[in-house]
A and B are shown apart, each in its own frame.
Chain A
Amino acid sequence: MGARDKVWEVFRQEAEGDPMVHGGSVRAPDVELATHYAREFYGRRQESERLWIVPRDAITELDDPDLLKPPFDRSFKRPGGFLLKHKLEAARERAGTDAVTRSEELGE
């Protein structure tokens, strides 16, 4: 059996409407046994609403650092790159408003 084993990635949904989340993997020679083992490992305690069982070799992996971690500062592409708080402070300074009082009024 060993040589014919494949790895299957198992995704589970905890409650109806939740996103599918990666649970882990199982080894099995085919989809039928993989389904049974996924049930045993990720569903037998009634913890899953639904499982997805995906052969690992159907997954396209992207891990090229040139694509994922380019060597320049790209922090402006992250939403965190735009801190509204700092922009507000700068705008208030220009307008001559007390930044602390104003932000308290805004509940920040």
Chain B
Amino acid sequence: MSDLEPRVRSALAELLLSMADDEFVLGFWDSEWTGIAPILEEDVAMSSVSQDEIGHAKALYEMLAALTDDNADRIAFGRPADAYRHAPLMNHPRTDWAFSVARRFLYENADAIRLEALARSSYTPLADLAVKMRREETYHLLHFDLWLRRLADGGPDARSRLIGAIDALWGDAQGVFAPLVGERDLLTAGILPESLDAMRLGWLARIAPLLEAAGLAVPSVSLPPTADARVRHTADFAWLHGEFTMVARSEAGAAW
């Protein structure tokens, strides 16, 4: 770790933060389904999948804390809302079940592409963690692909809500692969084995047949995300941030 040049180290920190914030914020949004999911069994499933994401976030925050001599809890709960670096896909509230399923489907496949690439990273701790995370994400992929097909085939109401959600989220889903400050340094060092935009094209190629298999059209325009995609936040996220930092803020500096 100490043998990384400061420029590369700060680019790696930015990569870890973006991934951790994706998992963390999505984990909090979807944990809102606890108690109100469509059936009891799904309630348990969605809650458990959301906990998985927060667990992945924890592992990434800890890696980041080791790299920057910081504290994982402080990074997770001690930042103002505008310091989070999640993709714009995570700026939306949970909305209805079709919306949450559509977001999960788009994100889980994007995350799968990202983890596949990072399993080849020259930064061994990250490559090892990516391999571990992929094993747990296998189930997430299966689960949300299954729900996508169910809702697509679940009658006109479910289908139109699902199509509406995919259309609404499509642009922001590209933002999972928004360019990072210092991305070039990460590519040179082999920490990122391929560019984020190459991963985005891999993701599009991966989900097109899955959408088609569910009888859904692939939205026609897929513009590359802009550099500020992970900096733009919404009032919905500001509200969620207030919720998930509430307990930590109630007693600053407390040991839990």
Contact residues of A with B, CB < 8 Å?
Answer: 1-2, 5, 26-28, 32-33, 36-37, 39-41, 44
Contact residues of B with A, CB < 8 Å?
Answer: 38-42, 44-45, 48, 139, 142-143, 146, 150
Q: How far is the CB of A43 from chain B (nearest CB, A)?
A: 10
Q: Interface of chain B, helix or strand or loop or mixed? A: helix
Our count of residue pairs bridging A and B at CB distance below 8 angstroms stands at 30
Q: How far is the CB of B98 from chain A (nearest CB, A)?
A: 14
Which listed residue, B40, B139, B146, touches A39 by the CB 8 Å rule? B139
9 contacts between A and B (CB under 8 A): A1-B39, A2-B39, A27-B40, A28-B41, A36-B139, A37-B42, A37-B44, A37-B45, A41-B44
* A26 contacts B41, C-beta separation under 8 Å: yes
Q: How far is the CA of A30 from the CA of B216 in the complex (A)?
A: 22
Q: How far is the CA of A96 from the CA of B40 in the complex (A)?
A: 70
* B48 contacts A40, C-beta separation under 8 Å: yes
* A1 contacts B139, C-beta separation under 8 Å: no
* B44 contacts A33, C-beta separation under 8 Å: no
Please name the 3 residue pairs, one residue from A and one from B, whose CB atoms are nearest each other, closest first. A37-B41, A40-B45, A40-B44
Q: How far is the CB of A96 from chain B (nearest CB, A)?
A: 69
Q: How far is the CA of A28 from the CA of B38 in the complex (A)?
A: 11
Inside 8 A of A26's CB, which chain B residues have their CB?
A: 41
Inside 8 A of A33's CB, which chain B residues have their CB?
A: 41, 146, 150
Which listed residue, A32, A40, A44, touches B41 by the CB 8 Å rule? A40
Q: How far is the CA of A28 from the CA of B44 in the complex (A)?
A: 13
* B143 contacts A36, C-beta separation under 8 Å: yes
Q: How far is the CA of A39 from the CA of B44 in the complex (A)?
A: 11
Q: How far is the CB of A9 from chain B (nearest CB, A)?
A: 14
* A41 contacts B38, C-beta separation under 8 Å: no
Q: How far is the CB of B195 from chain A (nearest CB, A)?
A: 34
Nearest B residue (CB) for A27 = B41
* A36 contacts B45, C-beta separation under 8 Å: yes
Q: How far is the CA of A6 from the CA of B142 in the complex (A)?
A: 21
Q: How far is the CA of A44 from the CA of B143 in the complex (A)?
A: 14
Point out which of B41, B42, B48, B142 has the most chain A C-beta atoms below 10 A from its C-beta.
B41
Inside 8 A of B48's CB, which chain A residues have their CB?
A: 40, 44
* A32 contacts B44, C-beta separation under 8 Å: no
* A1 contacts B45, C-beta separation under 8 Å: no
* A32 contacts B45, C-beta separation under 8 Å: no
Q: How far is the CB of B242 from chain A (nearest CB, A)?
A: 30
Q: How far is the CA of A53 from the CA of B150 in the complex (A)?
A: 20
Inside 8 A of B143's CB, which chain A residues have their CB?
A: 36
Q: How far is the CA of A39 from the CA of B142 in the complex (A)?
A: 12
Q: How far is the CB of A6 from chain B (nearest CB, A)?
A: 12
Inside 8 A of A32's CB, which chain B residues have their CB?
A: 146
Nearest B residue (CB) for A33 = B146
* B38 contacts A1, C-beta separation under 8 Å: yes
Q: How far is the CB of B184 from chain A (nearest CB, A)?
A: 41
Q: How far is the CB of B43 from chain A (nearest CB, A)?
A: 10
